[in-house]
Structures are given as structure tokens and as C-alpha cells.
Amino acid sequence: MQIWPGEAYPLGATYDGAGTNFAVFSEAAERVELCLLHDDGSETAVELREVDAFVRHAYLPGIMPGQRYGYRVHGPYNPSRGLRCNSAKLLLDPYARAISGEIEWGESVYGYRFGKPDSRNDQDSAPHTMASVVVNPYFDWGDDRPPRTEYHQTILYEAHVKGLTMLHPDLPDELRGSYAALAHPAIIGHLVELGVTALELMPVHQFVNDHRLVDAGMSNYWGYNTIGFFAPHNSYASWGDRGEQVLEFKTAVKALHEAGIEVILDVVYNHTAEGNHLGPTLSFRGLDNQSYYRLADHPKYYMDTTGTGNSLLMRSPHVLQLIMDSLRYWVTEMRVDGFRFDLAATLARQFHEVDRLSSFFDLVQQDPVVSQVKLIAEPWDVGEGGYQVGNFPPLWTEWNGKYRDTVRDMWRGEPQTIAEFAGRLTGSSDLYQDDGRRPLASINFTTCHDGFTLHDLVSYNEKHNDANGEGNRDGESHNRSWNCGAEGPTDDPDVLALRERQMRNFIATLMLSQGVPMLSHGDEFARTQKGNNNAYCQDNELAWVPWPGGPDADGDGDGDGTLLQFTRAMVALRREHPVFRRRRFFHGRPVRGTHDELTDIAWFTPDGEAMTQEDWEAAHAKALTVFLNGEAISEPGTRGERITDDSFLLMFNASAETLDFMVPADHGRQWQVVVDTAREDGVPPGTGAKHGAGEYITLIGRSLTVLQRPA
């Protein structure tokens, strides 16, 4: 075998058409072996003798795509000093573009065992491991172009690759649960009809099913347990795992782009699958434990602000390089359109405290590639001071947890919620305006993968997580949910009618709010997880989307499709009217140049009177009317023209009682009902009822009505 010196950059295995360059960083290593793995279970070891800035490298002519490989690192093993080199372990390449196989705790995937007997006999041994794969980078993208949908036109749809596609009746069996399924016309057609502009995929970086879950007969379904930051998770590929997963993922992105749908990845750069000091040594720990992880005062242990056992060392230049190289790779080579950063507050912990100006955010800000895509923070972690909603830099948008909590409280009838609800409905200026951000910094959601589904939010007061095997101790206990009068399944028609109305209320509120709305997959079908609010380990029908016409685990849900039709209608209403997706905050002042010089927004009691401070502070207040002035959008169009729209009245009755709402005087003579969640379909067919100024409209308890006045 010929061995040439090769190059120290780029890191990873880089195929150039004639051979492959291998480069790996380790400051702790005394010696590093590249191990080429063969199908008969044997391996060929090549020592990497060339070293530049602690990067060991070599070029091997004739090494082709599909070749599996790993590294063995010879060096000090002293956990009490934070050193964990162990040549008995075959390590994954941190820059591997594909990973083959899976960890089977006790049995080999391919009938042989990678590596040598573990002479150290330490507790973090994984008897069988995965292998890195050399990948062919060439792909015919054709005329692919990123949609580049602006935030004010974006409708996010959070989905799981497998959960979204396993039960669709029109998918071939061999495609279910795969990247290829995302590209199928049945899936893309649904997203297009729904009005989705961006598919936010739960983790697709290669992740690990940890030992505890496997022993319990479960798996890490959600995937927040990353081990390969460049590699698409191999079990979501229908074609194979020797690089086929890369081609299949690219094919899915290309198909979604052709339909005008962006692809956003939920990424987990805050920790890895190696866990705490008792976890397996799979890659980073064995290469250079001190460079990759935040160690505790006693360096045998790890600091953990993620609840997973470890946190990456965000002040390490090698960690920062890894993350930025990974992000750029997914944008330039895999052509994704943005990222949602899991537990992003941990990325800000350059030292111990959260610092939003840490090195990571500086690097993102100046990066000419990463700074140009959508960047969404989950703005909290489990560490001290970790709840940072509203505190991320101006380039970023955020999952707005305060929006979720306030809207839930409003519709379940909590007292003294009206004032904060008004702030969340109008874009959360208290969180984003001071640092120059706009309403579009707020990613609004009422449900997501973590917590109750929309159906369960209105069907359960308590979590029911017994299927997870943790005695119902896991998951959030304070869900701000309300079961509408019965816990779980019921035949009571009044309870069922109220639940359906509440689901319409949540969807309508989401689409009428300033900011960027995000739907959770299956909520448009009233998907249920039977009260499980932490289905991270449920890779089965409990967590998969039950499509109409396909297998349904419980027979519940949106049986006649009315909720789906209502969701489509609300998305269309938002899309057609820019007054619901302003790029600037309301200011509450009269708008000069309009024929009536009304304010851009106004607030009224159900009696049609302007809200006073006393009205805002009243504990019993659970109803209000909002006027949105379509002539006061106050922002230019794409060609500099002045944007105008119809005006709207939003009437919210979150109380249990039927209330009469007066159409406010002096804000328009004639109004037409376009949304009424008291109706089973939620949207009046054809022309809805018309009402004049000073007339009363009756809203039953827990319903909302939208009235429209042409410009």
C-alpha cells in the first residue's frame, strides 16, 4: 500500500477521485493509527506519521468511497487527570461524512468485532462500535436553488423523518421512515397543500441508541444524542449505509427545494453521545478528552448543562472549528437552509455563565456562509441562568417559550393573562425590540416534539408517561394544559366538542400572531400520544403520525379531516394578508396619510370601549377585541411600493361564558366574519355574516371570531 504525506486540511476523509486524504486532530495522542476495515472483520493499520498543529494526516491512493475506517489513539490514560486515550478502542472520525453500522451492546452488526481486547477493563467500554465511511462528494444538483423564503413569509413545520413517514398509506414499504420518503410526492404534496414553507427536521446527525434504552427494549427515537456532526443518520436511509445515506439526503433536499420548501436541521452541538464519565468511548473522548469536553474541578468528571452527562468545551478552538466546519458543510454540500440549535444557551457558555457574545456567536456573525441562513435558538438549557429567551444576538431568531406558555394560559382560562397575551400576539416587543430585532425574531409555537401534542394539550391535565419505564417521573409536570372536563379518552359529546374548539383556537391564534409560526407534525390531524409528553424513546405508533386513510393506533384524531381543512385555511389567511406578518412592531399611534388616520392597532373591551389600565389589570378579564389596521403596515414592498391590506377585528373569548362583543365604532362601517372557531369547520363557507359598527356579535365560551374589512 502506498502512503503519501497528504495534507492537514481539510479534516476528515476527503476523496478526490484517485484516493483519499485522511486528517484527524489530537493534541493528547502520542501515536495515531488509521485502521482500514475489511468485510472479513480484519483491519489494516496505517500509522499517521505526518503532524501539523496536532493534526495527523496521510494520503492513500486507491482508497475509494465506501471504505470503512476508524482510528486508534495511543497515549496517556489517566481519567483523574482528564486523559482517556485507549488504543483498544476503534474511534469514529469526528469529521466522518457517513457512518456505517450501529452500536450493539454485546453483538456485532456484521458478525465480527472491530478491534482488540480491552486491556484497560474500564467501565466505558463499548464492545462493538460503528465505522466511519469514505464518501463520494459528487452529486448532480442540476438547477437546484435554495428557496430563501423570508421570515415574514415562513411557515415552519417541525417533523421527525421516521415519525412523519412511517404510517403514510401511499408510501411504498421500503421507503417508510427514510429520507427518500421525504421526497415522495405524497409527503411533499401534503406540505404544499398545508402551506408549509420550511421543514424543520428533528436531529438527522448520526446519533447513538444508548445502552439503558436498548436494554429496556426502547431506542433514542428523538435523536438528541449525536456522535457524528457531519454524517446523516444511517438508519433513515433506505438504500444502504456505505455513503448511500448522503446521496439519499441530498436527493430529499433537492426535491423539497423544487417544491419551494426549505430544509432546516435541528442540531445538537451542546453535547455528544459519549455521556458522563461512565459512558462509552466512541470518538472525541478517546481522541482528546480535554480539548473537546468541559471538565469539572475533578477532571475525571464532566460539567453538564444539558442533562445528558457532558457539555462540549465552547472556548476550545478545536470545538469551535468542528461546529463551524459542520455548519458550513451542511449548507454548502448538503444545501440545507438553516438550523435550529438545541439547548443553545450551552453554546453561549464560553466559561461557566451564559454570555451571548461568546466566541461561537462572534464566529457565526462574521461567517459569510453560516450567517446567511436561518439561525433559530432554543434559548435555554438546564444549567444555572440558562433561560435566555430574548437574549440572543440580533442575527438570531428564538423559539419563544413565553409565547407558548402565555397562549396556553389564556385559552385554559388563567386569570390576569390578557396583558401578556396581547404582547405575545403582537410579536413580543418586550423581548426583542430593545436590541434592534423585529417581531420575526419570535418563533411562535404552542406545541412541539417536547411535550403534549395539540390533541393531548386539550385532553389531559397530567402527563401519562408510564410507557417510558421511568414510573412517570420523566417529562414536564407543569404543562399548562386543560382536559376540558375529562382526563383522556371520553365519549362525552360536550367535552369532545370543546376540545375540537380549543384546537381550532390554538391554531387560529398561532396564525394570527405576529412572528413566525411553527406547527408540530401531526397536529393538523389531532395526533395523540395518549398523554405521553416525553416520547423521546417511543419509536412506534405512539409517536408516529397517524395519517388519514392509514393505520391509526387508537382510532382517535381528525377523523373527518375538518381540523386539517381549518389549518390549511388559517395558513392561507395568513399568507394572503401581510397585516398578520408585519416586519415591524406596532406603535399604537395614528397613521398619517391614511384616509381615516386610525392607529395601526387598537384594543377594546367586549363592550367596544378602548381598554384602560384597569381593564388590562383586571383578574377576571379573559376577553378582548383587537383592531389591526391594514392601511398601516408601514413598510415598503419588494419594489419600494407602499404595502396595504384589509383591516381585521380579532375577538377573543377565553372565558367559559357566552359573551356579546360590540363591533367598535369609528373603525369601519361594514365587517364580514371570516373565521369563527365556534363552528365545526371554523371557517364560514362562501360569504360569512356581515356586521356593522355598533352591532353585537355573540361569541360562545372559549372561541374566537375574525372579521374582515376591505381596504
The residues that are catalytic are 342, 378
Q: For residue 463, what is its C-alpha cell? A: 402527563
Is 631:577 a contact under the CB 8 Å cutoff?
no
Q: DSSP letters along 167-227, please? A: T-TTS-GGGTTSHHHHTSHHHHHHHHHHT--EEEES--EEE---HHHHHTT----S---EE
Structural element, H or E, at residue 116? none
What is residue 552's three-state secondary structure? coil
Residue with cell 372565558: 655
Is 89:98 a contact under the CB 8 Å cutoff?
no
Dmax (CA) for the chain in angstroms is 89
The secondary structure of residue 411, as a DSSP letter, is H
For 415-463, give the secondary structure using H, E and C.
CCCHHHHHHHHCCCHHHHCCCCCCHHHEEECCCCCCCCCHHHHCCCCCC
Residue with cell 390554538: 506
**Is the omega angle on the peptide bond into residue 10 within 30 degrees of 0, that is, cis?**
yes
Measured CA angle at 268 (ends 378, 94), to 5 deg: 155
Q: Which residues contact 672 (CB under 8 A, 6 or more apart)?
A: 687, 688, 689, 690, 691, 707, 708, 709
Is 406:416 a contact under the CB 8 Å cutoff?
no
Task: Write phi, then psi, for 33 (nearest 5 degrees).
Answer: -110, 130
What is residue 82's three-state secondary structure? coil
Structural element, H or E, at residue 696? strand 696-699
**What percent of the chain is helix, strand and coil (3-state, nearest 5)?**
25, 20, 55
Is 286:85 a contact under the CB 8 Å cutoff?
yes
Q: For residue 654, what is its C-alpha cell? A: 377565553
Query: Is 146 exposed, middle or buried, given 0-12, 13-18 or 19+ CB atoms closer than 10 A?
Result: middle
Structural element, H or E, at residue 376? strand 374-377
